[in-house]
Structure 1
Amino acid sequence: MLAPRSLKREMGEVVPLDLLSVAFDPVLSLKDRHNSSDRESWVYQPRVYRSLEVFVADRLGDRGPCTSEPKLPGDPYRFHFSDGFCVSLRINCPEPSDPDVIKVEKITRVVEWMKYFSANTSIPMPHILSFSRDVSDVLPILGVPFYLVETVKRGKSLRRYLTALRESETVSASRTNEVRSNIYEQISQYYLESRRLTMDRIGSMSADSSGKWEVTKRPFTGTMEYLLSDIPDCPMHEWPEEPFSTAEDYFWFMCEQNMTALWGLRSLGVPRRLDPVADDVSPHWEDDEFNFDPEKVAKCARLRFRARHGFLQLIKELATEEGYSNGPFVPAMPHLDWELFRVIYDQRTKKINYLFEPRTINFMPLPFLCIPPPGLLSSR
């Protein structure tokens, strides 16, 4: 079992007060995140477009030259060939602190999950054409790993479609509800379908030469990605090198990561105002509306302290019960992946043509995955 070494700091040892005076400045992190569009601006240079046009044409072989279309923030590069074929080049704009192997790991995980869902479910996934396989296989000029997929041509953003539908003066309320019900039923079916996939370990998977899928890789969680991007010299040596076999081992690892966040970021997690979104997507945080009320901050800190210690007490009680620790393990993904602005909907066929980009998905213990995506809850 993976025992949490740093937990001793809260389980009996006296913490020197001078440690608490070394404050992590959250403004720097927020500034970095708010300026993510500035950090991404380097990908809009004309010479980058020209270089990528040559790269994509060479990568796909004998289709001839291609031309690019203007890229919007957050969108992939799109390239068109003379025969009408269209492809999308996707990159995850890397954090400056990401090691090269982690950059490639993120890309290969997305690709493997897309292939897995395509092979084992009816969840709509784009066809993978090419992707980075190691640290030497990166885009010219940009120097980052990538994956290349066939573009989903038909459809539009589901969020924009639902907003236009709601604001339309020519569509009746009953018709609007009928369309919404059809859409959310599709999403719900895909969600339930993903829950029926099971494996015997916690982590990510790959296919062997025969096409059989197995969990062979360590989990890479949103918490790990967050710590890697925000903590200088993030202690990756504490990360697992292979999948977890039991929920108990995984929970101990998460305790360790929570302590790394507390002591590495020097942040107690200031509560923020949670606003509902008007256009049928899940609630989101307003970063510019922080609630710095001292009483609420203190209450939040106390609750987080109690939660950390309460979780420790529950690990053995829950994770060792029959049916909890040893599975079943099913795909679990961040709720952000289910948000409707990522979904592409074709109103002519009334079908979803693209659901999500599987970024930080792992097989996780099913009994502890009880909360559906907020977007589905908001549809009621």
Structure 2
Amino acid sequence: MTFYDEIAEANADNECRAWVRKLLDAKAQVVAFVDARLDGRGAGEYLGFFKGSFNLSFHIGFGGQRPSALIRFAKPGHTHSAWRAEKVANEVHTIAYLRQHTTIPLPHIHCWGLTEESPEQLGPFILMDFIEGTRLSTFLMQPTEDEEADMVFNPDIDDETLDVIYDQLADYILQISRLEFPLIGAISKNSSGAWAVTERPLTYDTNELVTATGYPADQLPTAPFNTSSDFFHSVARQRLVHLNTQRNLAKDEADVQRRLISRHRFKQLIPKYCIDDTGPFKMFCDDLRPSNMLIDTKSLRITALLDFEFTNSMPTQFVYDPPWWLLLRGPDVWLNDDRMDEFLELYVPRMEQFLRALERAEEKSAAAGVGSPEEQPRLSSRMRDSWNTGRFWFNYAARTCLDMDDVYWHALHDGESTDDGLSLLDEEVRAELERLVPVKMEQRKAYEEELDSRFAEEQSE
């Protein structure tokens, strides 16, 4: 398991807390801002807030005179501060594109703006309709009285209920899988007014790297990619920079070796697992999961899919993976505790149930004449192929910087070497290991001393 850099995380939390205090102090000004933008005629009132990983939203009502609204701000610290505008713009463009090209239930955006256009200069914002519903993750999780407890999929949810939910999600995912672009990156309308890939991909993974590990932001991509292999080689470079820069990443010499091997092996595995190298590429949302979906618990109708901030045109093979979130949490939760067999026992039945729903969606779509006649093999078959070949795990490692080492050793290491993987590496990499071990040990020592010093200062305050 890879741990966060607690110092980087604390710095991010402190930045966010200071901003949240400023936001709460400006509650009246935010309400007035929303009221003016939506012509609420002074009826605007604060109804509450919603806090997510990367955003904080105020729910504003209008005394029944018009539907209530949500103004959502990107949180500094938890989103790298220099990227807040980029993140918000990417999400607005993605939602506009999806509303134009799919039937997915999405929030209606009234307006959006950057920091200089926001109330009290609070930061980039989106003003949208408020959508009623319960988070799908809440509906599917095992009930608990502990609000801090991890989400556990409720085994008592019956298959009929799941089929109703999966049928809807399968249809949405099938629609998204048909959206294609010639490059890898963020989309917007170009100078001629056509939708195109215009910026680098800003992903959940890159945001985690910078805000949670101390990764240097200037080492990340600055432009779109032409091929999937270029993208994966960029990821491989990021993983090695990460190994060199996160001070508390490795706990001892064996851990340094383990992580160095997995990261170099990831690069070596690119030719084996990279498919459809030159595209076309497909829209993919890093953060599409039940906690970002709303459901009417009585009718079981999905009322909205939310949070498309980390959505880009990406390597096609990402779309060909079965959903990683079918157990509500990712496979890393099980891999971190060496419980791969338990994960497979729980995940595979849910995956097969979802794929049957996807097959039903494909049949319904084909009967309606939707989709291309050349759409073979179908998405459900491609997902099974991704799972059966292990490409699912390669893709998951590419998207999760903090879990890639566990993913490699549990799912991608082929066991052909007799020396814990060292024989799979060349002499140059082995020499790199000799150089890296003392560097990482010195980094960890300095990190722990700084952490202890900060803790002592906090205790004395």
Q: TM-score, normalised by structure 2?
A: 0.60
Show the counterpart of 1:86.
68
Match of 2:5 among 20, 26, 40: 26
Task: Tell me by how many angstroms 1:235 deviates.
Answer: 4.3
Instruction: Please list the CA deviations of residues 322-360 of structure 1 after superposition, one character each: whole Å capped at 9, or x if unmatched.
Output: x632013112222xx233232211134431011231121
Matched to 2:59, the amino acid is R
Match of 2:277 among 322, 325, 328: 325
Whole-angstrom CA distance in 2 between matches of 1:351 and 1:25: 37
RMSD, aligned α-carbons: 3.4
Match of 2:118 among 109, 131, 138: 138
Matched to 1:327, the amino acid is G
Show the counterpart of 2:30.
52
Change in Cα spacing, 1:121 to 1:267, as seen in structure 2 (3 Å) is farther
Whole-angstrom CA distance in 2 between matches of 1:175 and 1:313: 42
Show the counterpart of 1:212.
194
The alignment covers a number of residue pairs equal to: 315
Match status 1:254 vs 2:241: no
Whole-angstrom CA distance in 2 between matches of 1:261 and 1:200: 29
Whole-angstrom CA distance in 1 between matches of 2:310 and 2:206: 10
Whole-angstrom CA distance in 2 between matches of 1:175 and 1:232: 41
Farther-moved stretch of structure 1 (199-208 vs 69-78): 69-78
Aligned partners of 1:184 and 1:376 also within 8 Å? no
Show the counterpart of 2:87.
106
Between Structure 1 and Structure 2, the one with more helix by share is: 2
Task: Tell me by how many angstroms 1:316 deviates.
Answer: 5.4
Instruction: Please list the CA deviations of residues 136-190 of structure 1 after superposition, one character each: whole Å capped at 9, or x if unmatched.
Output: 223316x21111101113x222233345899xxxxxx999431221012212222
Farther-moved stretch of structure 1 (227-236 vs 189-198): 227-236
Aligned partners of 1:206 and 1:216 also within 8 Å? yes
Aligned partners of 1:223 and 1:257 also within 8 Å? no
Matched to 1:137, the amino acid is E
Show the counterpart of 1:342.
292
Whole-angstrom CA distance in 2 between matches of 1:317 and 1:340: 31
Show the counterpart of 1:124.
105
Match of 2:308 among 358, 368, 374: 358
Change in Cα spacing, 1:342 to 1:221, as seen in structure 2 (3 Å) is closer
Change in Cα spacing, 1:201 to 1:162, as seen in structure 2 (3 Å) is same
Aligned partners of 2:13 and 2:78 also within 8 Å? no
Task: Tell me by how many angstroms 1:52 deviates.
Answer: 0.4
Change in Cα spacing, 1:111 to 1:269, as seen in structure 2 (3 Å) is farther
Change in Cα spacing, 1:269 to 1:373, as seen in structure 2 (3 Å) is farther
Whole-angstrom CA distance in 2 between matches of 1:58 and 1:98: 30
Change in Cα spacing, 1:135 to 1:311, as seen in structure 2 (3 Å) is same
Show the counterpart of 1:151.
130
Match status 1:372 vs 2:322: yes
* Secondary structure class of the residue paired with 2:48: coil
Farther-moved stretch of structure 1 (362-371 vs 79-88): 362-371
Instruction: Please list the CA deviations of residues 271-309 of structure 1 after superposition, one character each: whole Å capped at 9, or x if unmatched.
Output: xxxxxxxxxxxxxxxxxxxxxxx7xx93x5444322222
Q: TM-score, normalised by structure 1?
A: 0.71
Task: Tell me by how many angstroms 1:115 deviates.
Answer: 1.1
Matched to 1:346, the amino acid is D
Whole-angstrom CA distance in 2 between matches of 1:103 and 1:165: 35
Contiguous gaps of at least 5 residues in structure 2:
145-154, 328-346, 354-461
1:267-346 equivalent positions in 2, closer than 5 A:
267-268=248-249, 298=254, 301-315=256-270, 324-334=276-286, 337-346=287-296
* Secondary structure class of the residue paired with 2:325: helix
Aligned partners of 1:54 and 1:65 also within 8 Å? no
Contiguous gaps of at least 5 residues in structure 1:
1-23, 167-172, 271-293
* Secondary structure class of the residue paired with 1:71: strand
Change in Cα spacing, 1:26 to 1:62, as seen in structure 2 (3 Å) is closer
Task: Tell me by how many angstroms 1:97 deviates.
Answer: 8.6
Matched to 2:169, the amino acid is I
Change in Cα spacing, 1:186 to 1:262, as seen in structure 2 (3 Å) is same
Aligned partners of 1:186 and 1:352 also within 8 Å? yes
Greater RCO (Cα-Cα under 8 Å, separation 6 or more) = 1
Match status 1:228 vs 2:206: no
Whole-angstrom CA distance in 2 between matches of 1:118 and 1:105: 20
Matched to 2:48, the amino acid is P
